[in-house]
């Protein structure tokens, strides 16, 4: 009689040195099974079970043959067969687990409860959980907790994890689950309590959960305390602390912690430092850091380029405002030459006009037009009008092209020119387009047209609409309306609004007219009283 245990002992030993002879070993196993006959003895079952276990890891196909042969005799064999399909073939895994469980295998019942929890089948999960002898099995409860967490059933999550802690007070994961449940419910006090318990129990995740909690609640002091106690000193944690200060606009403290993060080699901190310096107006440092990000942090390169463009724009605007046109031009040229920002051609043109370089002015304006910049189109149209003193076809063309690109001032000017030329319907059309973009003077001017046409109702609606947005012309016209209708108090109110709205501006015609109106009304009131 062949000693099959001995044969497979040698096979196993051989397999450890050579793994390409599975077919040969399968053949041996089939011969053994065939020779065993139809009805197996207890000794044969035990023998095949042992061979199945011995070859399970080294020869899975051989192992399966033995387990399949004895599964009707020995329930644990079905359980072992299930393991071959775990996380690979759910249908086969379920099949063998069910067979073993229905044969009374407790481990298979447990496996089914876990399987259905992982597959979000609450009904079957509970069916097999209720068949367990041990209702407080750690593994089953842990998977059930995960299931209920994903179902947003936080009461169940808490119930399960309190059960786990009752039996295992030093558990690492149950307090984390409790912390998570309380966190999503907004009970941050209890969430902190259980995350701290998990930390004390040695959970590797609880520290990050506490970090997240303190960030969410913007509890800077506790966040800082936790970081300072952390021996690991991670750059990303210093970055997060810096972010908390940044969101509170405490740029000095944000800078401090970003620098600490940078010292630890966390390159992402360079981006945040650039942002801090941009916010406080230190454009030189902002430029330096964004340049470093572009060179050293590939995943932040595009975002850093966007921020660097903002830096150059801000620098250009600062110098434009201060009248330092050479420095402003330097940054604008970088923006157009390196980054292709077409909107900068207009400012380059303006600078050169201010410097008296008309040829350069026209060069930049025409370049901006070529690239489709509506402000350049608008500016060029007005410059042609200024030079000629006439509303030429060229002026009309460029204003319309700018208007087609939603340039609201171009729409307004088209309405104004049409009105001056007594093309009233064209004027209405363009004023309406400008009004849709919120142009308040267009509202006032269209109201004037309606008033001239005798449409007082529509005129008043537009005057009020323009006045709501603070337009002094609309205030003046409403003052006129109420004066004509002998509502002197309201007339005074709107004339006063004209003056208030023009505070800080040089004296202008409408201001003088409002003052004259107020003086007249005041004199009339005094005459009546006398």
Which long-range contacts does 4-13 make (Cβ < 8 Å, 24+ apart)?
A: 4/32, 4/47, 4/51, 5/47, 5/50, 5/51, 7/32, 8/51, 8/54, 8/55, 9/54, 11/55, 11/59, 12/54, 12/55, 12/58, 12/59
Mean pLDDT of the region 447-474: 94
> Residue 507 pLDDT more than 80?
no
Mean pLDDT of the region 344-350: 90
Tokens of 96: 């063998």
Tokens of 434: 């400008």
Closest CA to 239 of 256, 222, 214: 256
> Residue 4 pLDDT more than 80?
no
Could you count the other beta carbons within 10 Å of the beta carbon of residue 385? 19
How far CA 48 is from CA of 29, 44, 70, 104, 489, in Å, comes to 10, 6, 7, 21, 109
State the pLDDT at residue 506. 65
Closest CA to 397 of 409, 380, 421: 380
Residue 12's pLDDT band (cuts 50, 70, 90): low
> Residue 530 pLDDT more than 70?
no
Q: Give, for 349, the enclosing helix (H) or strand (E).
A: helix 344-354
Cα–Cα dist 229/241, whole Å: 14
State the pLDDT at residue 23. 81
Mean pLDDT of the region 386-397: 92
CA angle centred on 126, ends 120 and 132, rounded to 5°? 130
> Residue 27 pLDDT more than 80?
yes
Helical H runs in 37-102?
Answer: 42-54, 60-70, 75-83, 90-102
Cα–Cα dist 390/456, whole Å: 33
Cα–Cα dist 347/514, whole Å: 36
State the pLDDT at residue 471. 94
Do 45 and 74 contact (CB within 8 A), yes or no? Answer: yes
**Which of 21-25, 96-100, 207-211 is the least confident region?**
21-25
Between residues 523 and 150, the one the model is more confident about: 150
Closest CA to 381 of 351, 357, 337, 416: 416
State the pLDDT at residue 6. 56
Residue with tokens 């399909």: 85
State the pLDDT at residue 36. 87
Q: Provide CB contacts within 8 A for 327, sequence distance 6+.
A: 315, 319
- H/E/C letters for each residue in 477-497? HHHHHHHHCCCHHHHHHHHHH
Residue 13's pLDDT band (cuts 50, 70, 90): low
> Residue 3 pLDDT more than 80?
no
Percent of the chain with pLDDT over 90: 66
Residue 1's pLDDT band (cuts 50, 70, 90): very low
Q: Provide CB contacts within 8 A for 466, sequence distance 6+.
A: 440, 441, 443, 444, 447, 473, 474
State the pLDDT at residue 342. 86
DSSP 71: T
Do 4 and 29 contact (CB within 8 A), yes or no? Answer: no
State the pLDDT at residue 393. 93
State the pLDDT at residue 9. 57
Could you count the other beta carbons within 10 Å of the beta carbon of residue 233? 13
Closest CA to 508 of 484, 479, 467, 476: 476
Instruction: Read off the pLDDT of residues 309-324 as tens digits, 9 standing for 90 and up.
Output: 999 889 988 988 888 9
Greatest C-alpha distance within the chain:
142
Do 284 and 266 contact (CB within 8 A), yes or no? Answer: no
Cα–Cα dist 192/199, whole Å: 10
> Residue 14 pLDDT more than 80?
no
State the pLDDT at residue 15. 46
State the pLDDT at residue 355. 87
Mean pLDDT of the region 417-440: 95
Cα–Cα dist 310/278, whole Å: 9
Percent of the chain with pLDDT over 70: 95
Tokens of 224: 């800082």
Mean pLDDT of the region 18-33: 79
- What is the distance of C-alpha 472 from the center of its chain? 41
CA angle centred on 519, ends 513 and 520, rounded to 5°? 90
Cα–Cα dist 172/201, whole Å: 5
Q: What totals of helices (H) and strands (E) does the chain contain, helices first? A: 31, 0
**Which of 8-17, 117-126, 186-195, 239-248 is the least confident region?**
8-17
The rounded mean pLDDT for the chain is: 90
Residue 5's pLDDT band (cuts 50, 70, 90): low
Instruction: Read off the pLDDT of residues 75-88 as tens digits, 9 standing for 90 and up.
Output: 999 999 999 999 99
The alpha-carbon radius of gyration of the chain (Å, integer) is 41
State the pLDDT at residue 282. 93
State the pLDDT at residue 10. 53
Residue with tokens 């007005």: 382
Burial class (CB in 10 A: 0-12, 13-18, 19+), 92: middle
Q: Provide CB contacts within 8 A for 59, sequence distance 6+.
A: 11, 12, 15, 22, 25
Residue 18's pLDDT band (cuts 50, 70, 90): very low
Residues in the chain: 530
Tokens of 372: 């489709």
């Amino acid at each position: 009689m062949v000693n099959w245990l001995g044969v497979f002992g040698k096979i196993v030993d051989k397999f450890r040195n050579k793994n390409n002879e599975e077919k040969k070993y399968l053949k041996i196993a089939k011969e053994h099974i065939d020779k065993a006959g139809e009805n197996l003895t207890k000794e044969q079952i035990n023998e095949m079970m042992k061979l199945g276990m011995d070859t399970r890891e080294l020869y899975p196909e051989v192992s399966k043959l033995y387990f399949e042969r004895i599964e009707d005799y020995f329930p644990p064999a079905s359980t072992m067969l299930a393991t071959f399909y775990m996380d690979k073939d759910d249908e086969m895994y379920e099949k063998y687990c069910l067979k073993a469980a229905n044969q009374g295998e407790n481990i298979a019942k447990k496996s089914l409860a876990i399987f259905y929890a992982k597959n979000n089948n609450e009904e079957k999960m509970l069916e097999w959980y209720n068949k367990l002898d041990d209702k407080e099995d750690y593994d089953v409860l842990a998977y059930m907790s995960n299931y209920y967490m994903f179902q947003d059933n936080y009461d169940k999550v808490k119930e399960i994890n309190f059960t786990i802690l009752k039996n295992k007070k030093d558990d690492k994961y149950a307090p984390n689950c409790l912390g998570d449940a309380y966190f999503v419910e907004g009970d941050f006090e209890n969430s902190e309590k259980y995350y701290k318990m998990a930390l004390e129990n040695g959970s590797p995740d609880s520290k990050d959960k506490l970090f997240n909690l303190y960030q969410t609640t913007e509890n800077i002091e506790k966040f800082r305390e936790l970081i300072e106690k952390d021996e690991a000193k991670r750059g990303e944690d210093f970055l997060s602390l810096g972010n908390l200060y940044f969101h509170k606009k405490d740029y000095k403290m944000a800078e401090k912690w970003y620098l600490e993060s940078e010292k630890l080699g966390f390159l992402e901190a360079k981006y945040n430092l650039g942002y801090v310096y941009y916010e406080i107006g230190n454009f030189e440092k902002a430029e330096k850091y964004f340049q470093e990000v572009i060179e050293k942090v590939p995943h932040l390169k595009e975002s850093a380029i966007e921020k660097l463009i903002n830096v150059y724009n801000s620098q250009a605007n600062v110098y434009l405002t201060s009248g330092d046109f050479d420095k402003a031009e330097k940054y604008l040229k970088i923006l157009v030459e390196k980054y292709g920002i077409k909107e900068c051609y207009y400012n380059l043109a303006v600078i050169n006009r201010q410097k008296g370089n008309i040829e350069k002015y026209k060069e930049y304006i025409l370049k901006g037009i070529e690239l489709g910049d509506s402000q350049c189109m608008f500016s060029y149209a007005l410059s042609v009008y200024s030079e000629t003193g006439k509303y030429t076809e060229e002026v009309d063309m460029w204003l319309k092209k700018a208007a087609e690109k939603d340039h609201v001032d171009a729409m307004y000017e088209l309405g104004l020119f049409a009105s001056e030329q007594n093309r009233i319907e064209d004027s209405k059309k363009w004023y309406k387009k400008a009004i849709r973009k919120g142009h308040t003077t267009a509202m006032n001017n269209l109201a004037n047209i309606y008033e001239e046409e005798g449409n007082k109702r529509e005129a008043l609606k537009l005057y009020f609409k323009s006045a709501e947005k603070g337009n002094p012309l609309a205030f003046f016209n409403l003052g006129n309306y109420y004066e004509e209708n002998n509502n002197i108090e309201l007339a005074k109110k709107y004339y006063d609004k004209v003056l208030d709205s023009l505070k800080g501006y040089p004296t202008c015609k409408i201001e003088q007219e409002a003052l004259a109106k107020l003086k007249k009304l005041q004199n009339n009131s005094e005459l009546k009283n006398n």
